[in-house]
A and B are shown apart, each in its own frame.
Chain A
Amino acid sequence: MRNFPLPRPASAEAGLGDAHRRAWRRPLTLLAGLFVLLGTLITMPTVQAQDAVAIELLEALDVSSYPAKGEAITAIAESEDERARDWLSALLEGRLQRTDEGRFVIVLDNSGRDWPVADALSGEALGTMSRRDLDRIGINNALRNQLRSVIAVVDLYASDVGLRRASAERLLGEVDADLAEPLAGLIEQEEDARVRQRLTQALAIHRLEQGDILAIEHLDGSLHPRVRVALARATADSDNTELADAAQTALNNIEQTLRLNRAAETLYFGLSMGSVLMLAAIGLAITFGVMGVINMAHGELIMLGAYSTWMMQQLFPGQPGLALLLSIPVGFLVAALAGIAIERSVIQFLKGRPLETLLATFGVSLILQQLVRTAISPLNRTVVTPEWMSGSLVINDALSLTLNRMYVLGFSLLVFAGLLLIMRRTRLGLEVRAVTQNRAMARSMGIRATRVDILTFALGSGVAGLAGVALSQLTNVGPNLGQNYIIDSFMVVVFGGVGNLWGTLVAGLSLGVINQVLEPWAGAVLAKIIVLVFIILFIQKRPRGLFPQKGRAAEG
């Protein structure tokens, strides 16, 4: 069956995709290795007979000449041995080793000092061995490239779709004349559309290199960097202008799509950053709307939320996911209690003096910051991102959305929806809106404004805590965390207006996006300055923000 020519010791151009390929290959091959290992264990008796052949195959690897090793690799690949893939991937990763007694073993985990190993032939676990007792079978870069191609081809025959996909992925730009023919046959047989598409592209790149203009048709629209490299190379082909032109057209198409994708990525980053801004600002907007005071310690409440995430992770070591989920209520409560404390101890004595309140709460913010510096550390703390939040959602070759930002975005919108519900559907919300519009009138209607103040403040502060929890997943947690976000949050409030949640949402998201759009073009600092100037100009037109309150009540 496997009588197709395998890739020979490889081309020197393989370097481009290596880095990103390696990143996802390891878990996959490990997984595959495990399956094969399992299979081997079960089929032990039949395997026994082949051991002599197998040992011979492996022995051929343990020579000093690299070309000879290359031959041996080809031999293994063509051997139809079920363990071949396992050996080859182990060899690629330097895990195929020999004991002092000459036994071939596969190192299962080479991270520590003592390595767990398994027999390469039987798959039998041999416990741990010291690295000093083991002898690695070395390879060079050329062999590494050869191995990758070989494994890719081997995997193309695997029954597991995941393996086939991964291997097809690896073949892009690696196809040579020997591989082209069997590949065409494989494409016919392939059932999975994605594998088929990739293989077609891989083959098309090869045909393009041969000067086949029809191949471009298969490459058009693909965002894979290897495709772009191949097309770019074809445009430089001065002998064949027709081909060069066609390649250029295809390349332009791709660039166009790529720009769209980049725009989508910027938008995504902007929205996720904006959602955090919104979360940070919305508590501020609520308290400002209801009580007419700016809480300068708001940033520090965000910081407290972030630190409670860190604390929870200290309490539940090894369970970052659980800790994170728990820190949502904890962060809310911690910040809300701190908020109530601030309201009761400072703000209530400064009724009707908004500027003094601003100063006093600034003092509180200094104290809180210094408290964290003294009690915990002036240094940043890292909050672990749980596994289900790391990684990214791959949309296509050029666009992948990091999951942590996705979760933060979703979480922010959820909190927003929750706040909207509280404001619209609960008694507290009604009272808050009443006090926002006309404090004196609300009081005379029997609303206890003081109670509303406390609850509003608790709510606004709690939301700041939630913002901190969300932020802890995006940045380091440190005593200056709050300060870094407070001015941006203020800008959101100024931009969005007070007393309207939607204003804060729109303002937060749009400022986030504006920042992201400007940043690559103008640099982070200039982007901030431009945003500030924009806001100053904006309030020329709309002094009360995007969604101002109108009428008598707003004039106060």
Chain B
Amino acid sequence: MSLLKSFSRRDKVFDFLVPAESPVDVRHGPILYLEDVSVSFDGFRAIDALNLTIDDGELRCIIGPNGAGKTTMMDIITGKTRPDSGKVWFGARHNLLTMNEPEIASLGIGRKFQKPTVFEALTVFENLELAMSADKRILPTLTAGMTPAIRERIGEVLETTGLTGLIHRPAGILSHGQKQWLEIGMLLMQRPRLLLVDEPVAGMTEQEMERTAELLTSLAGKQSVVVVEHDMGFVRSIARKVTVLHQGSVLAEGSMDQISSDPKVVEVYLGADVDEEVVRC
């Protein structure tokens, strides 16, 4: 019954924008730290000596052409792919390379996939319930009950994501944009310290994009957010600092204006390399 107690205790701070208790130590430096990370698939170097630092509370946009290694980078951070070499630290204390996905997730790293992945057979409500930060071991999960506090919290997220009317619909029947929102909602339920967001606005309308931008910027400061996006307009609307990835390593880093005037970046996006990228896919 300690579970119930913990719920009632948490109830007081039940603002989904407040990150959950996370053991991450950010007193002396960045929240995420990648050094000299490399990984190759069958001889193809997807990530090549990548260095990346995300500060606590930062909102970072990562752009880059197809095959630049953006998704692979996220795979490495979340434990899905093991790099061949390099270091990945979460705060000062946690070496992510020694952990598996659930461990990393429960440390407070949330991820939204490029292709929206929600549990189609479950309802919107159930999707959010599963994502909620809670004791995720077997027996507590088996005996977990529904409390007004949980319902309230899910209600808040539903409102934020505009899915209130669809609460008991199976997630499978949602439109692409709605699934995007649901996945963002699931991220919010997790209350992570670090959000990795892969192409959040694909399939969204202008209005929805604006709302997403608003949401992400409001999250930043309390939580760290890393956004991978193709839509330059969207990136421009939220970006403070932008990192350009190319062929698995950082090509340029800086504000949006600095980036867009960087000749290397312009060449990558418009230059002769385009053919090569297509071949590689």
Residues in A lying within 8 Å of B, measured CB to CB:
441, 549-552, 555
Contact = CB atoms under 8 A, between A and B. Distances in A.
A513 to B, nearest CB: 28
A261 B212 CA distance: 74
A551 B46 contact: yes
5 contacts: A549-B42, A551-B41, A551-B44, A552-B41, A555-B80
A551 B72 CA distance: 9
Given A549-B42, A551-B44, 10 more contacts: A441-B281, A550-B41, A550-B42, A551-B41, A551-B42, A551-B46, A552-B41, A552-B71, A552-B72, A555-B80
A555 B281 CA distance: 15
A555 B44 CA distance: 16
A549 B72 CA distance: 16
A555 B113 CA distance: 14
Contacts of A555: 80
Q: DSSP majority for the B interface?
A: mixed
A275 B46 CA distance: 37
A279 B42 CA distance: 26
Contacts of B44: 551
Nearest to B81: A555
Nearest to B40: A550
Contacts of A549: 42
A441 B278 CA distance: 12
B245 to A, nearest CB: 16
A555 B46 CA distance: 15
B120 to A, nearest CB: 14
A389 B72 CA distance: 55
A550 B43 CA distance: 10
Contacts of A550: 41-42
A555 B41 CA distance: 12
Interface in B105-131: none
A2 B42 CA distance: 77
Interface string B62-100: 000000000110000000100000000000000000000
B267 to A, nearest CB: 26
Contacts of B46: 551
Contacts of B41: 550-552
Interface string B115-159: 000000000000000000000000000000000000000000000
A307 B80 CA distance: 48
Contacts of A551: 41-42, 44, 46
A551 B41 CA distance: 5
Nearest to B42: A550
6 tightest A-B contacts by CB?
A551-B41, A550-B41, A550-B42, A551-B42, A441-B281, A551-B44
A401 to B, nearest CB: 39
Interface in B194-225: none
B198 to A, nearest CB: 13
B252 to A, nearest CB: 25
B279 to A, nearest CB: 12
A551 B67 CA distance: 12
A555 B101 CA distance: 15
Interface string B24-45: 0000000000000000011010
A358 to B, nearest CB: 21
Nearest to B41: A551
A470 to B, nearest CB: 33
B133 to A, nearest CB: 27
Contacts of A552: 41, 71-72
Contacts of B80: 555
Contacts of A441: 281
B83 to A, nearest CB: 13
A549 B43 CA distance: 12
A494 B80 CA distance: 22
Interface in B34-62: 41-42, 44, 46
